[in-house]
Structure 1
Amino acid sequence: MEQKSTINFGAGPAKLPQSVLLQAQKELLSYNSLGISVLEMSHRSSDFSKILNKTESLMRELLNSRPSSWTLNPSASYVYYCCNETVHGVEYNFIPETNGVVLVSDMSSNFLSRPVDVSKFGLIFAGAQKNVGCAGVTVVIVREDLLGHALKECPIVLDYKVQAESNSLYNTPPCFSIYIMCLVLEWIKNNGGSIAMENLNNQKSSLIYDIINNSDGFYVQKKEMKLWKKQFLDGAAKRGMISLKGHRSVGGIRASLYNAVTLEDTEALATYMKEFKKQHM
């Protein structure tokens, strides 16, 4: 039976690169010809330690510099911001200057989708299930001088000093999720790194936003789109496009164009949007 083609525009767990899924499938029963699955591998084994070390090495290599473009002078012990909030579709394309105050950021939705100057931050955390892997693991990059300042009430597994001293192996880690993340990081590296991801993501977003901006209000009139929402989603599903329904708290329609969503995937959505508008104008 022919495999049905489906394009996943979900906000997370999000689409993974096809080559990553195929490699994971190939190595599922026997990782690196060891005769055991990575799902069975002990986190204390030398083979898993190699995966962990390679993941860290790839992460360092893929993070590049980007200058800041805005100045902030807060009177706080730290400044927190989520640079890409996907519920309402808000993204900051700059790094705020905090004049020495520790900057903490949740980058779950755009981590490694573009270059970022890590030196500007005291702490970065990101769920991997959007751009760099599958659900089950969170990436944390913390400045070394901030280690050891956890609150007394902080669970020990969330004490970054403990995790750093244990090479992220204080407790049994999600081995398979880390393995998948390693494969995705390799895929990003082999496809040009974070700069190439940024260029590709700009192309994809431009395709969709150009249609919205030139739709004479068709895709921004809430009343009309509420009436057509079900028709739009049903039509998209028939074309193999899933997870376009907006967040439950705001409704509407949402297309998440993470790294693994291809230009061809985005063009398919753009074509459908043009056809749908033509049919309902």
Structure 2
Amino acid sequence: MTNRAYNFNAGPAALPLEVLQKAQEQLVEYQGIGMSIMEISHRSSQYEQLNEETQSLLKELYAIPDGYKVMFLQGGGSTQFAMVPMNLLSAGKKAYFVQTGAWSNKAIKEAKLFGETAIAASSEGEKYSRIPDLSQLQLGDDAAYLHITTNETIEGTEFTELPDTGNVPLVGDMSSDILSRPLDVSKFGLIYAGAQKNLGPSGVTVVIARDELIQDSPKHLATMLRYDTHAKANSLYNTPPVYSVYMVNLVLKWIKEHGGVAVMEKRNKEKTSLIYSAIDNSGGFYRGIVQPEYRSLMNITFRMESEELEKKFVKESEQNGFVGLKGHRDVGGLRASTYNAVPFEACQALAAFMTDFQKRNG
């Protein structure tokens, strides 16, 4: 496989080559049953076994304690922006948010449709170049939950410490950094993540929720938008995204086979340090957007002195086999997304390209 691109797409993103090869091998026939996994009933014993195994793998890798439910839903993280307040924000309560960028703002916008919201802390005044200081975090007695976006995919910031919310449930959008580093799940009431960054292809969204938060959803909600519907049915209330769950299963096995989440973190630090070093040692030719202590291990954002030079960088990078280095359309600039499946060699190649580009254009 010598023609594989250096894939730095933000999502859908790189998948492990070993996983893709395994999926290719099993595409036509799954485990000797004479059919593809895409052809079988979600009520079949084969799919029920896959469903249970995938939940168990996630629980094992993240050391998810008893009293939590793992669900496989549809609609991406964007649907969770609505489902969380619909299910958890009751009358007389407020949803509190840490405002850290584009994705937290989308979550805030949706929550306002269903109840009262409040900003507990914000880095908007600093153009989202950092995570706000939460050491003096204060939540009102009316707090239904505190919502954080643990990694802002567009801005490139990442929480290095979780806030202490006391008895208030902590809700985390972990779409772009789930399984990239060890995590104390017990600090959260609910975690959600679209799969298309670190878990697999698009089409399935993982929700990890404390049982008591989701056991009785408000009765007026549509059936499909109730967490208790999916919890009670073990994610099999309706036809699930079978192939996406299958791919998540393969990715989780790949993570386990390569040493687990702690090893993922070590690898991520090693490979992203190559790119951050190219930025920091460029004498200002490349300019990191995020304050160093809040830099993401998943999304490296940077600028150059002009948009014309950035366009030239993107064009030449594409000619050299790099994909996905153009920044998000809302903020511009440049971005390299370095998820678990992005190999060390790709980051090594990008750092070398950046150094060479600077020599030729600096």
Band the TM-score falls in, shorter-chain normalisation: over 0.9
- 1: CA distance, partners of 2:304 / 2:33: 58
Structure 1: where are the runs of 5+ without partners?
none
Report the equivalent of 1:272.
Answer: 353
Alpha-carbon distance in 1 for matches of 2:3, 2:240: 34
Q: Which of 256, 260, 271 is residue 204 of structure 1 equivalent to?
A: 271
Alignment of 1:217 with 2:293, yes or no, is no
In structure 1, the partner of 2:203 is 136
- Output aligned runs, 1:85-164, within 5 Å: 85-164=152-231
**Higher strand share goes to which structure?**
2
Name the SS of the counterpart of 1:40 in structure 2: coil
Q: What SS does structure 2 have at the residue aligned with 1:32? A: coil
Deviations 1:134-156 (A, max 9, x none): 10000000100112343445332
Assess, with a 3 A threshold, how the Cα gap between structure 1 residues 223 and 115 changes in structure 2: closer, same or farther: closer
User: How far 1:41 sits from its partner (Å)?
Assistant: 1.3
Q: RMSD over aligned Cα, in angstroms?
A: 1.7
Q: Verify the 8 A CA contact 2:286 2:304 in the aligned structure 1.
A: no
Return the letter of the residue paired with 1:74.
L
Match of 1:243 in 2: 324
Point out where structure 2 has 5 or more consecutive residues left out of the alignment. 65-133, 289-302
Partner residue of 2:139?
74
Corresponding letter in the other structure for 1:73: Q
Match of 1:263 among 341, 344, 347: 344
Deviation of residue 189 (structure 1)?
A: 0.3
Give the AA of the match of 2:169: V
Distance in 1 of aligned mates of 2:60 and 2:212: 22
Alignment partner of 1:104: what SS? Answer: strand
Summarize the Cα distance change of 1:90–1:153 in structure 2 as closer, same or farther, 3 Å threshold: farther
Q: Is the 8 A contact 1:14 1:129 kept in 2?
A: yes
Determine the structure 1 residue equivalent to 2:40.
41
Partner SS for 2:334 = coil
Deviation at 1:267, TM superposition (A): 0.3
Distance, in Å, in 1 between the alignment partners of 2:240 and 2:54 is 14
Give the match for residue 16 of structure 1: 15
| Matched length | 277
Name the TM-score, length of structure 2 as normaliser. Answer: 0.74
Deviation for aligned residue 1:216: 1.0
Give 1:145's aligned amino acid. Answer: E
Q: Is the 8 A contact 1:70 1:95 kept in 2?
A: no
Amino acid at match of 1:279: R
CA distance in 2 between counterparts of 1:280 and 1:153 reads 61
- Given the alignment of the two structures, is residue 31 of structure 1 paired with residue 30 of structure 2, yes or no? yes
Query: Aligned equivalents of 1:200 and 1:5: distance in 2?
Result: 20
C-alpha distance in 1, partners of 2:322/2:12?
Answer: 15
Contact 1:71/1:98 (8 A) holds in 2: no
